[in-house]
Structures are given as C-alpha cells and as structure tokens.
Amino acid sequence: MAHKKLKLLYLAQYLRQQTDEEHPKTVQEMIAYLEGCGITAERKSIYDDLQLLELWGMDIQMVRGKRFGYFLGQREFQLPELKLLIDVVQASPFLTGKKSMELISKLEGLTSRYGARQLRRQVYVMNRLRTANETLYYTVDGINAAINENRRISFRYFDWTVEGKKAFRRQGQTYRTNPVALCVDRYYYLVAWSDGEYRHYRVDRIADLRVLEEPRQALPPDFDLGTYTKQIFDMYSAPTATVGLEFDEKLINIMIDRFGTQAHMRPAAPGRIQLTAEVEAGPTFYGWLCQFGTQAKLLWPQDTVEAFTRWCRETLAQYQ
C-alpha cells in the first residue's frame, strides 16, 4: 500500500530520467518499470496518472505513429542551458577538480539519461591551475549565511609556502570582520568592511570560518557593489583615482569589458579613444595597462602617471 502511494512519484521520476523527444516510452514500458519498483498498475490508471502529472505542471507530450509513446518536453533546464552551466563549472579555478566533477554530475541529473550522455561527451577537464582547498564550498556557504543573517565572521588566513604547506598570517591568530559580499574575479573573494576600509580575502585561503553571534557593524550607506568591482583590479587594494586613458580604437571591446558601457568615452586623435574611469591605481592596474604597450596610454592625473612611470622604471631596472 505504501508503494501504491509512491506511484506518481516513481512515474514522474521515470519520465524525467528515461524520456525525451527522441526516446518516448509506451504505457506498457511504464507499467513494466513500476512493476520493477514493486508497484502494480493498469493501463487506465497510467493514463489517469499522466493527466494528473500534466495538471501538476509537467509538460508531458505524446508521439503518434511508429514511435508512439510519451515523453517529458519542457524542463527546468534545456540542454544548451546545462552546457553553459557546465562550461562555467569547468572554467572555474576556485573549484577543485573533484568538486567540479561532482557539480557536473548533478547538472547532468537535470536532463534525461540520453541528454546526460550528450553532455558527458562534451565534458573535459581543462589543464588549468585549480584550488586545492576542498573546504571552499562550505566556506562560501558560511559567508553567505553570515551576510544574510547580518552577522560577523572569524577565520584564519594563510599563504602557501614553497613546500605547498599553509603558513598562517598573524601567527595563526583569527581575523574578525564584517562580511559585505562575495565576488568572483577568476577566484572567489570575500569583500569585508573593517577599521573604516574595505579589505579582500581569497576564499580558498580562508580556514576555520565561524559565523559569530555578534551583528555586523553598520556598512557605509553609499556602498554599491557593482561600482566597487569595476574600480578594483584582481582584488588588490590601492588608492582610488579617476584616471584618463587614451587607447587604440581596436581595444574598445576590452575597455568596455573592463569598465562597462557607462564609462565616459570620446573620440581623440584619429583611431584613438579617450576614456575616463575610476580605478584602484596600483601595481595590478599598472600591470594590466602594460599589456597593451603603445596601444594605450595613461594621461592623468599627474601623480598617478608619475607613480606608474616610477613603477615601470623600477621593474625594468632589474633586467639591466
């Protein structure tokens, strides 16, 4: 009797896992499946169950002709959408190889077994550096919980040694801070507010995270995460400055990717564009700018130009 009450659930599971447009199933196949689950069923009851599942919201389609049968049509995610999500998982260096494959397997479970085979044929593990921190998944969950519950957190923070071991900063003492947001810039970063300034921490180098009972300190009312993330480069803090850049028009897509379409731009010399944007003007920004060589030039402010010039000279000096 208990199995009888589960009949609808087993049938819904069968339609999700075993059917798609290319693989419809007959009523007789459904009856055989249910019998394998210890549930007896008649043809009429299956028709009634299919109608109930359709009323519940499942997109059950019928195929006529030689391949007569039923299949689940519209799903929460279609194959192209799942492929996009799998691509994101594969490209994420902040996930371990093990966690990547676990997430991919779960994503494959959102389609039929035939669709999962198509996705599996396209899955490959990229030869890229990945985090070695298996606890990152739970650290992210704890930080999210703290932000949602408006609570402070504590943790230990470490660097990697040459031997591949953890060297904890502050002699292993804990950091206590106010979590603001989680950002992704190749890696997962925690943005925190402490001692009147924002600080960044690589989440995969956080250990022993605890969500504290004490509430977060009040955050500045003018904080805007979208604006803030456009200012910073690879999450290394530096003084904020409004800078002027002149660059080759061929770099327009790169500049928009970096600063957004809201950045102020105007034509300059033939084939060149001037841009005004707010950045954290430090070594990471300088390194980013250097990759464009003569295609881009820092114009102002003068103190930032001088600091950039000095940084370039000091960098070149070690090769002379």
Q: pLDDT tens digits for 210-231?
A: 999 999 988 777 777 666 666 6
Work out the angle at residue 294's Cα, subtended by the Cα atoms of residues 288 and 298, and round it to the nearest 5 degrees.
Answer: 60
Q: What is the pLDDT of residue 311?
A: 93
Q: Is the pLDDT of residue 128 over 60?
A: no
Q: What is the pLDDT of residue 119?
A: 78
Mean pLDDT check: name the lowest of 68-77, 235-244, 298-307: 235-244
Q: Grade residue 237 by pLDDT with cuts at 50, 70 and 90.
A: low
Percentage with pLDDT > 90 across the chain: 36
pLDDT one-digit tens code per residue, 17-51: 999 888 999 999 999 999 999 898 899 999 999 99
Q: Is the pLDDT of residue 1 over 60?
A: no
Do the two domains 2-72 and 136-220 of this chain adopt the same fold? no
Please give the single-letter amino acid code of residue 320: Q
How far, in Å, CA of 181 to CA of 216, rounded? 13
CB 139 within 8 A of CB 158: no
Q: Could you tell me the pTM of the whole model?
A: 0.54
Beta bridge mates, 264: 276
Q: Grade residue 177 by pLDDT with cuts at 50, 70 and 90.
A: very high
Three-state secondary structure call for residue 241: strand
**Helices 27-36 and 43-56 sit at what angle, rounded to 10 degrees?**
90
The class (CATH top level) of 136-220 is mainly beta
Q: Is the pLDDT of residue 262 over 80?
A: no
Q: Is the pLDDT of residue 138 over 90?
A: no
CB 157 within 8 A of CB 175: yes
The structural domains of the chain, with segments of one domain joined by +, span 2-72, 79-122, 136-220, 226-317
> From 1.10.10.10, 3.40.50.2300, 2.40.170.20, 2.60.40.10, which CATH number describes the 2-72 domain?
1.10.10.10
Mean pLDDT, rounded, for 84-108: 79
State which of 11-20, 85-94, 230-239, 273-282 shows the largest mean pLDDT: 11-20
Q: What is the pLDDT of residue 199?
A: 87
